Chain A
Amino acid sequence: MNTNATTMTKIKPRKNWLVLFIHKLGSPPWFYNFSGKLIPWLWAVFAALTVWGLYLGLFVAPADYQQGESVRIMYLHVPSAWMSMMIYGLMAIMGFIALVWRIRMMEILAMSSAPIGAAFTIIALASGSLWGRPTWGAYWVWDARLTSELVLLFLYLGVIGLYNAIDEPRKAARAACLLALVGAVNLPIIHFSVKWWNTLHQGSSISVTGGSSIDTSMLWPLLIMAVATKFFYGANLLTRARVKLLEQDIRKGWVKKVVKEQKS
């Protein structure tokens, strides 16, 4: 009897905390409440890191021996360019999950990522252009890196446009997720463009595997700003996802309850 009981306990499937967490994320009311508690902390960390990173980058880090003071644009340009690619990659992964497993939260998160990614791409292109003028003598050149980054912006705009063009939100998200997935082919092109073609844009100064050619006095503010932008993405993504949930579930009881609680 005891042996059987032990065997039963062993056979009984146990859900680990990660699986439970993912299951909970699929519940709109739970996601709405959980993200509501998380968002202020994400904004606070973003603000603190941005102030610290900008102080180091604009006032403490030295000017570059070749580029002079214009190198300070790097602390905005490089993190924005990294984010533009990272967000697209995440959007494509979430789009893939949404298409294969039909998870509504993934559709919402993928579609909420697109405007944030587009914003970072605009900043990367604009700041790069303003950095190019004193460094290269031109605001724009049809260089492989710049052109592929511009294509990334068009892909983001295409995803946003397609999502807004279809009335039924789930059908719209599926179509836009498919476009996001197809457009992911542009990511390796952006990354390797400086190696595959002879470009005016410089190659990578930072390597994860070591051998970075950037001085630590410049590297630290750059890394701090890079981490800060991740928190911006997190806070903004959750805010946008919450709004999309309210919009889609407008006639559901939990939404009315949330709005009534806000009112009181």
Chain B
Amino acid sequence: MNHAPFIWAAYAIGTVVLLWCALAPLAHKRTISRDIRKLIQLEEVDRDSHA
């Protein structure tokens, strides 16, 4: 039996899962940073309108 497909499939799955694991929090951070920037802008607008 040729073992190469099993070996490469195992390492391919490992790579995909670890990449997902590493990149998912970065994508989430980008979304949160965008929300925080919007919040800061809204607060600045609110402060300006009261001034």
Contacts and interface: CB of A to CB of B under 8 A. Distances in A.
B39 A250 contact: yes
Interface residues of A, number: 36
A133 B40 CA distance: 56
Contact of B21 (A127, A236, A260): A236
A256 B47 CA distance: 15
A256 B40 contact: yes
A126 B24 CA distance: 20
Contacts of B1: 134
A119 B40 contact: no
Contact of A127 (B3, B14, B22, B28): B14
Interface residues of B, number: 27
Contacts of A263: 37
Nearest to A112: B25
Nearest to B5: A130
B45 interface: no
Contact of A250 (B18, B25, B32): B32
Secondary structure class of chain B's binding surface, majority of residues: helix
A232 B13 contact: no
A259 B41 CA distance: 12
Interface in B7-26: 7, 9-11, 13-14, 17-18, 20-22, 24-26
A263 B6 CA distance: 46
A263 B10 CA distance: 40
Interface string A222-264: 0000000000100110011011001100110001100110110
Contact of B36 (A68, A116, A259): A259
Contacts of B4: 69
A80 B25 CA distance: 20
B13 A262 contact: no
Contacts of A236: 21-22, 25
Given A70-B3, A256-B36, A256-B40, A122 B25 contact: no
Nearest to A246: B32
Interface string A120-159: 0011001100110110000000000000000000000000
Given A123-B17, A134-B1, A259-B33, A243 B25 contact: yes
A255 B32 CA distance: 11
9 contacts: A68-B3, A119-B20, A130-B10, A131-B6, A134-B3, A232-B18, A235-B22, A236-B22, A255-B36
Interface of B: 1, 3-4, 6-7, 9-11, 13-14, 17-18, 20-22, 24-26, 28-29, 32-33, 35-37, 39-40
Interface of A: 68-70, 72-73, 76-77, 80, 115-116, 119, 122-123, 126-127, 130-131, 133-134, 232, 235-236, 239-240, 242-243, 246-247, 250-251, 255-256, 259-260, 262-263
